[in-house]
């Protein structure tokens, strides 16, 4: 199973829209006779690759797979049926498939007389596809909220200027993290005021070939010349103020699993109050403003005991690049997760 997990995480395998999966076929004597991994949407699944590699040696083998073999026909046929036809006698799975469309592979295999087991190295398998797993288990994408702030929690000065709140190194880091998501989301006010392009760019400023879906949330009509409507990526406007509705639509109608949210303070407060912020990325600049635009709007919290609590899971100091000759700004990136509710 460790070998299958290693194969699934092979360099160059995209993080979506399909899960990363690895498969190893073992002969009765324990030797490997075939292995494979899924290279991305539209390509053969890991089990099919392993069966092709094994050929006639697949008969009588044990298939060790990081994810339950699928039980539906999409761009490719069901892997559970392929394993049955190949004469595999046992299947060991790490993670059951949380996708309601594809689940049921183990039951199909068992009905065909194949011995099945699941749960081996489950946590490692879930860690391979965390956003994909989360989305299918919750019926909505995983949400990462990113913002930049001064030491006193300001995202912009009183006059609206915000250029130095995040450093060039922080902005480069943001693009690296954007690339890990399949959706960029902001509100209509951010589009009108800031006119962002919402694309993922390399260090040299060039757009990457594969771009997340750009999503603008809100009922306000937007200027057609807004950069978010250029030809660099697909854009969808969701005419709703309800974060839960928006996220369910992105999962159900657009197949999205991971939202990178960069909305303003009002929309950020709406997401927080709805309880749909799963991760927070905060870029903290060593600045004090004493006033200006808050990073988050009112949450209706009137006492410290009701404050939203987060666990700090990572810190990173972002130093100026050697090419930033005129910039000495240092940002600290904090990664936080909501503190789990305590059981009563």
Place of tokens 């030491």: 151
Residue pLDDT, tens place only, 261-271: 998 999 999 99
Alpha helices in the chain (DSSP H): 2-8, 46-54, 79-86, 105-111, 122-128, 130-138, 168-178, 188-194, 243-254, 265-274
Residue 75 has pLDDT above 70, yes or no: no
Structure tokens at 165: 């709140």
- Enumerate the β-bridge partners of residue 116: 91
Q: Between helices 265-274 and 243-254, what is the axis angle to 10°?
A: 80
pLDDT at 268: 96
Residue 285: per-residue pLDDT: 92
CATH architecture of the region 139-338? 3-Layer(aba) Sandwich (3.40)
Q: How many whole angstroms separate alpha carbon 258 and alpha carbon 15?
A: 10
Instruction: Detail the residues annotated as belonging to a binding site for substrate.
Output: 162, 178, 198, 201, 262
Q: Is the pTM of this model over 0.85?
A: yes
Q: Where residue 210 falls among pLDDT bands split at 50, 70, 90? A: confident
- Joined together, the tokens standing for residue 66 give 């990081």
Give tens-digit pLDDT for 184-204. 999 999 999 899 999 999 877
Q: How far apart are CA 184 and CA 145, in angstroms?
A: 10
- Are 2-132 and 139-338 the same fold in CATH? no
Q: What is the pLDDT of residue 216?
A: 97
Detail the residues annotated as belonging to a binding site: 45, 70, 79, 148, 162, 164, 178, 190, 194, 198, 201, 262, 264-270
Domain boundaries, the chain: 2-132, 139-338
Residues 22 and 66 sit within 8 Å (Cβ to Cβ): yes
Question: Could you tell me which CATH number the domain at 2-132 has?
Answer: 3.40.140.10
pLDDT tens sequence across 95-144: 999 988 877 899 999 999 999 999 999 999 999 999 999 999 999 999 99
Residue 95 β-bridge partners:
67
Strands 142-149 and 213-217: unpaired
Q: Residue 232: what are its φ and ψ, rounded to 5°? A: -80, -25
User: pLDDT grade, residue 84 (50/70/90)?
Assistant: very high
Cα 86 to chain center, whole Å? 34
* Selection from 74, 131, 136, 123 nearest residue 95 by Cα: 123
- At 87, give phi and psi (nearest 5°): 85, 20
pLDDT level of residue 328 (50, 70, 90 thresholds)? low
Which are the catalytic amino acids? 47
First-to-last CA distance in the chain?
38
Residues placed in the known binding site for Zn(2+): 45, 70, 79
pLDDT at 16: 78
């Amino acid at each position: 199973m460790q070998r299958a997990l290693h194969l699934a995480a092979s360099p160059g395998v995209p993080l979506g829209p399909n899960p990363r999966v690895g498969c190893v076929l073992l002969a009765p004597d324990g030797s490997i006779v075939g292995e494979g991994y899924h290279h991305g949407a539209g390509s053969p699944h890991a089990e099919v690759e392993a069966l092709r590699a094994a050929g006639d040696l697949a008969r009588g083998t044990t298939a060790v797979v990081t994810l339950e073999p699928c039980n539906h026909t999409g761009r490719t046929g069901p892997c559970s049926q392929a394993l049955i036809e190949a004469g595999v006698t046992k299947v060991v799975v790490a993670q059951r498939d949380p996708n309601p469309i594809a689940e049921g592979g183990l039951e199909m295999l068992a009905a065909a007389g194949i011995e099945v087991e699941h749960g081996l190295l489950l946590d490692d398998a879930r860690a391979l596809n965390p956003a994909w797993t989360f989305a299918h288990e919750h019926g909505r994408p995983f949400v990462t909220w990113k913002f930049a702030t001064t030491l006193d929690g300001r995202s912009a000065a009183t006059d609206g200027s915000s250029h130095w709140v995040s450093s060039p190194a922080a902005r480069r880091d943001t693009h690296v993290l954007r690339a890990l998501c399949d959706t960029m989301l902001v509100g209509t006010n951010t589009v009108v005021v800031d006119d962002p392009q919402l694309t993922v760019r390399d260090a040299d400023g060039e757009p990457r070939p594969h771009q997340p879906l750009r999503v603008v949330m809100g009922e306000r009509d937007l200027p057609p010349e807004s950069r978010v409507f250029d030809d660099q990526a697909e854009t969808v406007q969701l005419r709703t103020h309800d974060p839960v509705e928006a996220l369910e639509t992105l999962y159900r109608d657009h197949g999205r699993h991971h939202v990178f949210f960069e909305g303003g303070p009002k929309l950020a407060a709406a997401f927080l109050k709805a309880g749909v912020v799963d991760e927070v990325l905060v870029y903290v600049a060593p600045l004090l403003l004493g006033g200006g635009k808050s990073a988050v709007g009112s949450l209706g919290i009137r006492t410290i005991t009701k404050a939203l609590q987060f666990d700090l899971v990572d810190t990173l100091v972002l130093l100026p690049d050697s090419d930033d000759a005129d910039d000495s700004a240092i940002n600290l990136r904090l990664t936080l997760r909501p503190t789990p509710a305590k059981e009563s």
